[in-house]
Structure 1
Amino acid sequence: MDEYECNIDAEGIAKDIALLSQLTTRVRVYTTDCNLPDMVLDAIKSLNANVTLSLGLKMVRNLDVSIKQLSDFKRIITTYPDELIDSVWIGEEPISKGQLSEFELIGYLDFATGYLERTGKNIPVGTSETGSQWSPNLADHVSIIGVNINPFFGGLEANLSTLWTYDFLLEEFVNRLDIRDTTAQLMISEVGWPTEGGEIGDAKANEDQLQNFMDLWVCNNKDSQVGWYWHTAFDGPNDKDRQWENHWGLFSNDRLLKNITIPIC
């Protein structure tokens, strides 16, 4: 579940959760803006859905924004039952996007981890970054290592991209950092395939290649020790200036399933 522009309401979020609960047991948000996590958690409770929330905080250069996100985090953590929140994610590629230095990100990670420990919450804390931005030092400050890998940008056709994704994870991340002995959980924090926006090499943004990639990825990785989040559930609003950005969903932005079939494993 991606960021919203505050044009959301509790009824719409409840519809989202009712739909997504048929596909997954875990939903991730990227921000506390607009009371989005509250609406997701309220919907999970009211629907008695078998879903947990991966709570993301938007950590940016603007200190006021980051402080507000942390304040919301503290309120949410102490308001809702522990079993509804499976993890806390501090930032979404904040180093890659030039929003935070590694030192600043580690400070926020340590704050969140310390707060959870002081309040007796056993909820893991991590961050999501591209593989090149992870360092052994950063990995030492998380209990979840999230790596965004979007194989579309590798330029291979979809039926080769599942292997490419794991080759990238092993060669460009695990081997480079030598983190085989880490106690942190390794997760692919974004993986998916766009349906509009053009092509890169043999990788074409369309529904056929989304279907091919999904067929190979979902069932092959259903029981993988490396967790993963599909990027993303719903398309964003149409925007001709954002080539691929708003077209990664399995559903259109009005909750209609694209011309694809969800794999049954």
Structure 2
Amino acid sequence: MNNPNLHRVFHGMDYTPLNAMYPDCITNPPTQNNITRDMAVLSLLTDKIRLYGNDCNQTELVLHAIDALQINMTVWAGVWLDNNQTTNTRQLNHLYTLLADSKNRDKFAGVAVGNEVLFAKTLTETQLFDVIDGVRSNLTSLGYNLPVGTSDLGSNWNADMAAKVDVLMANVHPFFAGVVVEKAANWTWTFFQENDVVLTDNLAKKPRVMISEVGWPSGGGSDEGSVAGIDQMNRFMADFVCQSNAKGMEYFWFEGFDEPWKIKYNTPGKQWEDKWGLLDVNRKLKDGLKIPTC
């Protein structure tokens, strides 16, 4: 799977395996072969990945791929939460089973409990942080000292929330803010500092702060001043990636591969939901895309 056009320059990468969405995966599950190939490619781009959930055995398949390939890769485990208690219980119990397995102990870098739960209004702030407290308590009982957080829109965080997590994870997308790509990198850094990092200034125990999603779609239309396209992806990467590394910023690029299932969220003139990957679903680097070198 080696590719001289791929460079390990990204701090981290967001990843959702193909066919890992419940309940569809019951009849069409993700495969070890596909995930192992994905991980081989991702290892050429980063040494950290972030998952969004653990349904369909996706986390086990990822961990097995890391072992089989003997690659240097750590995983931010994901716990998908919604307003269905059955879903939440299934996700949490699966996480604890994974962590109880001693062979996984060194592979996890942290746990992201929920993604954009507050934005979607599927749980209240109180409900979400009760779950986070429970996860932290269970991790301690299992002998782990992993950072626990939740990812949400950068504009949704406040100082009270920041004080309740080990890591503040903000999804910051200049594309959805209608920013022209020439200004997108500076906009991202400024937005993150003024809306998220600043929240930790007066906290006695400061959490880590990271951008849990940042990226640009390769096509599908435009959103005010933001234009989706390969040239625009190249420009944003060229302005953001190496410069963020130099700043010591923790971020997860959204994302490694296209997600075809998201086509259902596309609307006329806004057909970009399935086009955020650096590579297509067959692990082919998109034509004309240039991964930065740092």
Whole-angstrom CA distance in 2 between matches of 1:169 and 1:156: 14
Q: Which residue is equivalent to 2:6?
A: none
User: TM-score scaled to structure 2, two decimals?
Assistant: 0.86
Please tell me whether the aligned partners of residues 265 and 273 of structure 2 are also in contact (alpha carbons under 8 angstroms): no
Give the TM-score normalised by the residue count of structure 1: 0.95
Q: Deviations over 1:46-99 (max 9, x none)?
A: 111111111010011000000000000101111143220001000000010111
* SS of the residue 2:16 aligns to: coil
- Asked if the contact 1:194–1:206 (Cα under 8 Å) also holds between the matched residues in 2, the reply is yes
Contact 1:17 1:40 in 2 (8 A): yes
Q: Contact between 2:151 and 2:170, CA under 8 Å: does it hold in 1?
A: yes
Q: Does the CA-based 8 Å contact 1:28-1:56 persist in structure 2? A: yes
- The aligned length equals 264
> Alpha-carbon deviations, 1:3-24, whole Å to 9, x = none?
6333410110000000000110
Q: Does 1:52 align with 2:81?
A: no
C-alpha distance in 2 between matches for 1:62 and 1:12: 30
Whether 1:115 aligns to 2:138 is: yes
Alpha-carbon distance between aligned partners in 2 of 1:171 and 1:194, rounded to the nearest angstrom: 25
The yes-or-no answer on 1:100 pairing with 2:129 is: no
Does residue 2 (structure 1) correspond to residue 16 (structure 2)? The answer is: yes
> Are the counterparts in 1 of residues 151 and 212 from structure 2 also a CA contact under 8 Å?
yes
Q: What letter corresponds to residue 241 of structure 2 in structure 1? A: V
Which residue of the other structure, out of 83, 86, 91, is the alignment partner of 1:69? 91
Partner residue of 1:264? 293
Shifted more, 230-239 versus 54-63: the winner is: 230-239
Alignment of 1:1-265 (within 5 A): 1-2=15-16, 4-5=20-21, 6=25, 7-79=29-101, 80-175=103-198, 177=199, 179=201, 181=203, 182-237=205-260, 239=263, 241-242=265-266, 243-259=271-287, 260-265=289-294
Residues 99 and 142, structure 2, Cα contact 8 Å, conserved in 1: no
Q: Distance in 2 between matches of 1:233 and 1:174?
A: 26
Instruction: List gaps (5 residues or longer) in structure 1.
Output: none
Shift of 1:241: 4.7
**Unpaired runs of 5+ in structure 2?**
1-14
* Aligned AA (1:192): G
* In 2: Cα distance, 1:210 partner to 1:132 partner: 23
Is the 1:157–1:209 Cα contact (8 Å) retained in structure 2? no
Deviation >3 Å, runs of 4+: 177-182
My pick for the range that moved more, 88-97 or 77-86, is 77-86
Deviation, 1:224, is 3.0
* Identical-residue share of aligned pairs (%): 34
**Is residue 167–residue 207 contact of structure 2 (8 Å, CA) maintained in 1?**
yes
CA shift digits 1:149-201 (9 cap, x unpaired): 011122222221000001111223334x3545452100000000001221123
Deviation per residue, 1:19-49 (Å, 9 max, x gap): 0001100011101111100000110011111
* RMSD, aligned CA: 1.6
